Structure 1
Amino acid sequence: MDENKGKVKSLSKAIDLLDILSASRRALSLSELSERAGYPKSTTHALASTLRDRGLLRQLQNGDYALGMRLFEYGSAVSRGFDISELSRPYLESLSSLTGANSVISLLDGESAVSFDYAVSSSGVQILPEIGVKLPLHCTSQGKLMLAYLPQSRAQSVFRRQSMRPFTRHTIIDRGHLQQQLEDIRQKGYAVEDGEYKVGLRSVSAPVFDANGDLKYALTTIGFFRKVSADDFVNAVRVTVDQAGMLSNALGFSSDK
C-alpha cells in the first residue's frame, strides 16, 4: 500500500513553514522562508497567505512573516486538555522502578506543597505518601524546590510568611541558611531533604516545567536512604532529574526556548 496515499501535500508544506518559523525564533521574509523550505516563492507566498488569513501566521509592516496568535490559542487548548495524573503516571512508575523508592508528584497550593499522585516501589520498606496533605515549604524537598523557582516577588512574599517550624532536629529554622539553600537549588536544578521533615526520610525533587518555562510541578523520590551521599541516593537524584525533564518535555517544555 502506498503510504503517501491520502496525504495532503499542501498541508504538509504549510506545516513546514510553521516549523521553520518556530525554529527561527524571529520573523522571516518571503525569500528567507522560500529558501529554507526549498519551495518556489510563488508556492511559499500562497501557503503563507493562507496561513495568515487563518491567523496561523501574521505579517509585519515590513512584510516579514511571524507565527500567529491562533497557534497560542491552540497550544492553550492542548494544555487545558492534559490530565496530568494520567500523563505523569508512566514517569512516576519508571522513577519508582529505577530507584527502588517511592515517587510523588506535587504542586504549589498557596503557601504549601500538596502531593496529588504517587507510585509505590515493590522493594524495600513501604512509605505511604501524604496525598492531599499540605506540606511545609521550608523543610520538604518539594517545598524548597517550589520556593526556589517562584517568581522573585512572590517568593519573597511567601518566604517572609514561612513559620520555619522545626519538625526534626535537622529542620532549617534560619532564614538566611534557607535562602542560601534556595540559591544552591536554582544552580543545581534539584532540591534535597535530609531528614528535615521526618526522621530517617530523605528525598530529592526536580522541577517539571510547562510550555511557558514556568515551574508547574515537583517530581520527587522519597525513601529511607542511609545518607544523601550514598550511591543509591546519588542515583535517585540523577534519575529524578531525568524523569522530570522528560515529563516537562511531554508538557511542551523545551530547554532551547
Structure 2
Amino acid sequence: MTSQLNGSVLKAFRILELFAAGRSEMTAGEVARELKINLITAHRFLHTLEQAGALRMTARGVFRLGYIFADLGERVSREGGPAPALQPVLDDLARKTHEACMATRFDHDKAVCIAKALPERALYVDIRIGSQLDAYCTAHGKLWLAFMEDEKRQAYLDAARLSSLTATTITGKSALMQELARIREDGFALNDGERESDIFALAVPVFNRNGTMVSALSTFGSNNAIVTQRRSGLLDQLRNAANDAQTALYGTGANAV
C-alpha cells in the first residue's frame, strides 16, 4: 500500500529550511518568492508555524525560528545524536567493503569518531569511539577542513602547526590549501599514510538538505590498495552510503513541495 504524503506538512518544512539555509529572518513576501506560492498562502503558513512554536515574530511580519528547535536539538543530543542513525549504514558499508568504517563530527580542530563498524575477518584496523583525528593529516580531518566556512578554515590554518608525522604528511600550508581545493572539487579525501605510515583511508562527506556537511564516512585499513587499486570501487560504495546516511538523518523527498 502506497503511503500518502501530506503536501502541507512538506511545504511547512520547506519554509523552515529557508531559515536553516542561513537566513535569520524572513517575511511572507520572501517566502512567497522563494517557494513560488501566493502571498496569502505564505502568510497562513507562517502564522500557523508561529502558533505551533516553530517560528516567532520579532517585528510586524518578520519571523525567526522558534526556541522549540533548541529543545528538540538538546533531546536529539541526549539520545545519541546522529550515531544511532548512521550505525546501520556503517554496518552495511563494512560488509560490502570488507574494511573497517567510521563516521565523524568535527570538534574545534579535530575530527571525532562517533560511530564505527568492523569487517567480518580476523585482522583489521580498529578505532575507539571518541578518538580524535588531526585535521591536516587524516582523510576525515581534511574533508572537514575542505567543506567548512572560509573564515573557520583560515582560522585553523593560521593557528595550525603542520608537524611531519610520516614521509607523506603535508607540512606546507600552501600545499595543504591546494589539497583542500582538490577535495572540494572531487568530493572525497584520502589518507595516504599521512598520520601513521601503515594506515590508509578514503572519506566522503554527508550533507544536509541545504548542502552543509554534517558528518563524514570513511573506509580505512592497513593496505594501501584502499587508496590505489581499490579507490574507484570503494568511492562508489562510500558515496552510496553517504546518500543512505542523508536519508537516515533527514528522510526522503528533500525536494518535495
Q: What's the TM-score, normalizing by structure 1?
A: 0.72
Do 1:203 and 1:221's aligned partners in 2 also have CA atoms closer than 8 Å?
Answer: yes
Task: Map 1:165-244 to 2 at 5 A.
Answer: 165-210=163-208, 213-223=211-221, 224-226=223-225, 228-230=227-229, 232-244=230-242
Q: How far apart are the structure 2 equivalents of 1:95 and 1:256?
A: 26
Q: How far apart are the structure 2 equivalents of 1:67 and 1:252?
A: 22
Q: Offset at 1:215? A: 2.0
- The percentage of aligned residue pairs carrying the same residue is 23
Q: Offset at 1:90? A: 0.4
C-alpha deviations, 1:203-230, integer Å up to 9, x for none?
A: 1111123455432222111012326231
Task: Map 1:43-82 to 2 at 5 A.
Answer: 53-54=51-52, 76=73, 79-80=76-77
Task: Map 1:1-257 to 2 at 5 A.
Answer: 15-20=6-11, 22=13, 26-27=31-32, 28-29=37-38, 53-54=51-52, 76=73, 79-80=76-77, 83=80, 84-123=82-121, 125-210=123-208, 213-223=211-221, 224-226=223-225, 228-230=227-229, 232-252=230-250, 256=255
Structure 1 residue ranges without an equivalent (≥5): 4-11, 34-44
RMSD of equivalent CA atoms:
3.8
Q: How far apart are the structure 2 equivalents of 1:228 and 1:192?
A: 7
C-alpha deviations, 1:101-151, integer Å up to 9, x for none?
A: 000112212211221321110136311214433221111001000111111
Do 1:209 and 1:251's aligned partners in 2 also have CA atoms closer than 8 Å?
Answer: no
Structure 2 residue ranges without an equivalent (≥5): 19-30
Larger radius of gyration: 1
Give the aligned residue type for 2:163. R
Q: Offset at 1:236? A: 1.4
Q: How far apart are the structure 1 equivalents of 2:51 and 2:79?
A: 29
Give the aligned residue type for 2:198. G
Q: Offset at 1:52? A: 6.9
Q: How far apart are the structure 2 equivalents of 1:53 and 1:156?
A: 41
Tell me: CA distance 1:211–1:23, structure 2 relative to 1, closer, same or farther (3 Å): closer
